[in-house]
Homo-oligomer: A and B are copies of this chain.
Amino acid sequence: MLYSRLFGKTTKNIISDADSVNAKLLSQAGFISKQLSGVYNYLPLGLRVLKKIQQIIREEMDAVGGQEILMPALTQLESWQTTKRQDLPILFHLKGQEDNDLVLNPTHEEVVTPLAKNFIFSYRDLPSAVYQIQDKFRNEPRAKSGLLRGREFNMKDLYSFHSDQADLDRYYELVKQAYFKIFNRLGLEKQTVLTFASGGSFSKYSHEFQTVCPHGEDTIYLCQKCHIAVNKEIISEQDTCPECGAADLRETKAIEVGNIFKLGTKFSSAFNFSYQDNQGNPQPVFMGCYGLGPSRTMGAIVEVFHDEHGIVWPSSVAPYHVHLVALDLFDAKVKSQADSLYQQLLSSHLEVLYDDRTELTAGAKFTDADLIGIPVRLLISQRSLESGGVEIKRRSSQKSEIISLNQISTKIFEN
């Protein structure tokens, strides 16, 4: 992509109500643009990151046998009355033209349970798991912190259906491992800890995945021995680690990026959703639900990976692999070498953002590159060509070196 043509460039304006690092950096760097409190536009750079996060999640959900579907945002209020959740304050209410009562779904148990009831009849149809990557709505009283707490936000929600508690338990562990793989691929493995939360009527605990971060909205208590954590609800009931029994739990701030929950028969009972066992007898369906928010995770990644100059994207979700910065473009020889290097990188299937602007100083271009945070910066200029090639510098490092044009592909993928 030519940076000169990119829709959504960096801006020096401090976003007036950017109340968090992720809102500030993502807005200034041209990834998102605020529509209203808790509601954002994704600009081309931001949408590329969001899609990469979604694709990593999708692959790991497919790997645990999840089948992707897409459920609607609009739903009858009646479905929420069935589960007695119609008074949730975060429900957006609206009226259809025949004056029927509708809501915008903040979660989809009320949709997926009757949907699954249409297709799951027998023990032969179980287990089954479906997920979607879809936009949800929550009428948050305090939408804030950029992508961390939205009123319209992207969510991956997986729902699983089982013949009994044991099979739900088995699948729950499988999804837990899939979540670790996802946070590993997103570069968040060191910061993200499994956190015990209260479990409702069907299970002692549910689990959150909390990304430790100074500006997190949640408070968790991290076991210094086994590196799991408990949340506020749990610490009020017990002050030892539920995993290893240790008593050294240290308070820390974190962002909840995922949660997994054994629903048991709570929703299947509400919707009279049962299956026939191999004796022909009706049995209740056991359910699990597993959330992970791509947009919130994007915010969390920025909260964790930034420095005073801007964002430092992990490679797996960076909007582009390479930021090619060209200087001295008034010099036809440099211009021609820079353009041909850009084409060469594209033919090597690299994703490249090419800063081809002629009117900017080297300093302004470097500032933009640091703010945007693409992992590898290649600099081509009169001086670099005189020195034998291009300068390569990683966003995460101060070091730079001159390499020859034919070393580029190898060097980019070095760590």
Residues of chain A having any CB pair with chain B under 8 Å = 4-9, 11, 30, 33, 35-36, 39-44, 46-47, 50, 65, 67-76, 89, 92-97, 100, 102, 104, 111, 115-116, 118-119, 124, 128, 130, 135, 137, 139-141, 151-152
Contact = CB atoms under 8 A, between A and B. Distances in A.
B151 A41 contact: no
Contacts of A94: 92-94, 104
Given A75-B36, A92-B94, A93-B94, A41 B67 contact: no
Contacts of A40: 72
B92 A70 contact: no
Contact of A118 (B33, B74, B76, B130): B33
Given A119-B9, A130-B7, A135 B73 contact: yes
List of 4 A-B pairs having minimum Cβ-Cβ separation, nearest first? A42-B70, A44-B67, A94-B94, A97-B141
B69 A47 contact: yes
A128 B262 CA distance: 48
B42 A69 contact: yes
Given A73-B152, A139-B97, A68 B41 contact: no
Contact of A74 (B5, B30, B39, B115): B39
A70 B153 CA distance: 12
Given A76-B36, A94-B93, A141-B97, A71 B8 contact: no
Contacts of A116: 7
A140 B98 CA distance: 10
A155 to B, nearest CB: 14
A223 to B, nearest CB: 37
22 contacts: A5-B65, A7-B67, A7-B69, A7-B116, A8-B69, A8-B119, A33-B115, A35-B71, A35-B74, A35-B75, A36-B76, A41-B69, A41-B71, A41-B111, A42-B69, A47-B68, A72-B152, A74-B151, A89-B97, A92-B94, A94-B94, A97-B140
A39 B96 CA distance: 12
A83 to B, nearest CB: 16
Contact of A128 (B7, B33, B95, B139): B7
Nearest to A108: B41
A130 B30 CA distance: 14
A140 B100 CA distance: 12
Contact of A44 (B7, B42, B68): B68
Contact of A72 (B6, B41, B95, B140): B41
A95 B141 CA distance: 12
Contacts of A73: 73, 135, 137, 152
A12 to B, nearest CB: 13
Given A7-B69, A94-B92, A152 B115 contact: no
A74 B137 contact: yes
Contacts of A46: 70
